[in-house]
Amino acid sequence: MSAAPTTMTGPAPSALAARVERLLAEAPSPGVDGGIPFRAAQFEAGLAWVSFPVGHGGLGLPPGHQLVVDRLLRDAGVEPANLRNPIGYGNVAPVLAAYGTDEQRRRYLRACFTTEDIWCQLMSEPGAGSDVAGIATTARRDGTGWLLRGQKVWTSLAHVARWGLAVVRTDQEKPKHAGLTCFVVDMHAPGVEVRPLRMLNGKADFNEVFLDDVPVADDNRVGEVGGGWQVVRSNLDGERAAFGAEGDEPDPGEDLLAWWARACVDDPVLTDRVMAAVIRSRAARLTAERTQRGAAGGAVHPAIVKLLSSEAKQHTLEVALDAQGVAGTLYAPDGYALEQPVRVGIMQGDPAARYLRVQALTIEGGTSAVLRNVLADAVLGLPREPRFDTGIGWREIPRNAGEYERKVRGR
């Protein structure tokens, strides 16, 4: 089962590097105007997503080449594109590139990349989390367009988003996977209501989005009617691959080690716990790098990366909090004041804040249980579990009616 190392094909990276150098030399400074003019230039130069078609921010190159561009830009001090508009950049743009019409790409990709338009993703629902294909938000025909009705949840950045990529049900009689369709939703349209969803750390990284007969034109449909599941699938893969990736956040393991050295810890029990956590973090990071950078050992399935990374981070951030002793019982500096950050990340705040935030890491982006099932099927080829929701229409599938959520939220 050992995989062959990845290799890159296509034009030599040095030609690409030259293009990046030219961009850095000729484009407006990245520090000006929130970086928007620089990114516009980057888009025109085809360096936004090098694997996209020419004219839509790309050069038609294999995806691995993006690493060259990103590395050079980062070394030059340019803020990574995925920071301010992570969903737009990482999830939506690839979907539009693969399944969108030319008109949609023309209309949306540029402003997505420059971050003039922030994007959110309208996928999960209270009754459809791990079972995302079970969603109930509907789209019904209304003249030449559609009307969307339902409720989405766990929507990051909905409070600042201009557009949302939504997955909705267009057919309730077909088996669940076959009745889904994707749309681009104008977050400023009538009928869209965004409410913050507060997490255990006091912050509202996420939102609920209520859609009350929101009108959507048919030219904002992405892909075929009933073709929504494919879009969701590719979206999920991208989401998982993003975990464990070298972002701009410090790695919790390296961070803990640095703390340990500075703090001159002489407690051997704590030292052992710290070293064990550091080592576990390192193992997760090295495994992530095998896929992203072709490091020794060969590429692995994204679910492996996500599982190792999320679980190592939880372990490490717990050790980091425990190491604070009684000081860890304080929740400084601003306590649980409600905040809606526009940057998503887990390494913000003090050890207590990070520890709390990271509890969600084994749930968001695919729960650890679901991802283990994915590995069992896709990598290990183990026999599948009996299913009770296939081969029957979506309407027939036993479901909750939402009483539990209503009880919790006091509605």
Partner 1 sequence: MSEQTMAEFLDQATRFLDTAAGRAPAATSRPWGEGPDGTELLAEWSSEEEARLVTEARRFKALEYDAGFGWIDGPAVYGGRGLPRSYHDAYARLREQFAVPDLAVMRLGLSMTAPTILAHGTEQVKRAYLPRLHRGDVIACQLFSEPDAGSDLASLRASAVPDGDGWVLRGQKVWTTNAHLSDIGEVLCRTDPRAPKHRGITAFLIDMHAPGVEVRPLRQMTGGASFNEVFLTDVWVPDDHRLGEVNEGWQVAITTLMNERSTTTDIGGSLDVILDRLVMLARWSGRLADPAVRDLVSDTAMHILAARAGSQRAHEAAVTGQPGPEQSVGKLLWTQNLQRVSRVASELLGPRLVADTGEWGTYAWAKFVLAVPGIRISAGTDEIMRNILAERVLGLPREKPSTRNEERT
Partner 2 sequence: MHEAGPAEHELLRQSVRDFATNTSPEAEVRRLMATPHGFDREVWSVMASQLGLQGMAIPERYGGAGFGWTELAIVFEEFGRALLCAPYFATVALAVPALLASDDEDRKQRHLPAIASGELVATVAWRANAADEVTARGTSGDGYELHGRRSHVIDGCIAGLLLVPALGPEGPGIFAVEGGAPGLSHETRPTLDETRKQAEIVFDGCPARPLEPAGDGAAMLARVERLAAVALACEQVGGAQHCLDDAVDYARDRMQFGRPIGSFQAVRHRCADMLLDVESARSMAARAVELAPDDPQFGTAAHMAKAYCSEAFVRVAAANIQVHGGIGITWDHSAHLYLKRAKSSQLLFGNPQQHRAALAALVRSAA
The residue from 143, 381, 386, 391 that contacts partner 1 (CB under 8 A) is 386
The site partner of 388 among partner 2, partner 1, none (C-beta below 5 to 8 Å per kind) is partner 1
Q: Cβ of residue 373: shortest distance to partner 1, in angstroms?
A: 14
The site partner of 347 among partner 1, partner 2, none (C-beta below 5 to 8 Å per kind) is none
Q: What do you get for the CA distance between the two ends of the chain, in Å?
A: 51
Smaller CB distance to partner 2: residue 210 or 259?
259
Query: Does residue 217 interact with partner 2 by CB under 8 A?
Result: no
Give the tokens for residue 34: 């929130």
Task: Provide the CB-side half-sphere exposure for 200 (13 A, CA).
Answer: 11
Peptide bond into 250 cis (omega under 30): no
Smaller CB distance to partner 1: residue 335 or 383?
383
The site partner of 18 among partner 2, partner 1, none (C-beta below 5 to 8 Å per kind) is none
The residue from 96, 308, 346, 356 that contacts partner 2 (CB under 8 A) is 308
**Exposed/middle/buried for 268, CB within 10 Å: 0-12, 13-18, 19+?**
exposed
Give SS3 for 29.
coil
Q: Cβ of residue 272: shortest distance to partner 1, in angstroms?
A: 5
239 catalytically annotated: yes
Whole-number Å distance between alpha carbons of 316 and 210: 37
C-alpha to C-alpha distances, 44 to 37, 101, 102, 244, nearest whole angstrom? 11, 19, 16, 30
Q: Which part of the chain contacts partner 1 (CB under 8 A), choosing from 37-45, 132-140, 209-217, 261-269?
A: 261-269
Smaller CB distance to partner 2: residue 61 or 307?
307
Q: Cβ of residue 380: shortest distance to partner 2, in angstroms?
A: 5
Q: Cβ of residue 355: shortest distance to partner 1, in angstroms?
A: 21
Smaller CB distance to partner 2: residue 217 or 258?
258
**Exposed/middle/buried for 162, CB within 10 Å: 0-12, 13-18, 19+?**
middle
Choice among 125, 239, 289, 311 that is catalytic: 239
Q: Which residues contact 16 (CB under 8 A, 6 or more apart)?
A: 50, 61, 65, 68, 69
Q: Which residues contact 52 (CB under 8 A, 6 or more apart)?
A: 46, 58, 59, 60, 93, 97, 109
Smaller CB distance to partner 1: residue 218 or 396?
396
Query: Does residue 390 interact with partner 2 by CB under 8 A?
Result: no
The residue from 77, 143, 190, 268 that contacts partner 1 (CB under 8 A) is 268
Which amino acid is it at 62?
P
The site partner of 269 among partner 1, partner 2, none (C-beta below 5 to 8 Å per kind) is partner 1
The site partner of 4 among partner 2, partner 1, none (C-beta below 5 to 8 Å per kind) is partner 2
Give SS3 for 276.
helix
Q: Which residues bind partner 1 (CB under 8 A)?
A: 267-269, 272, 386, 388, 396, 398
Q: Which residues does the annotation mark as catalytic?
A: 239
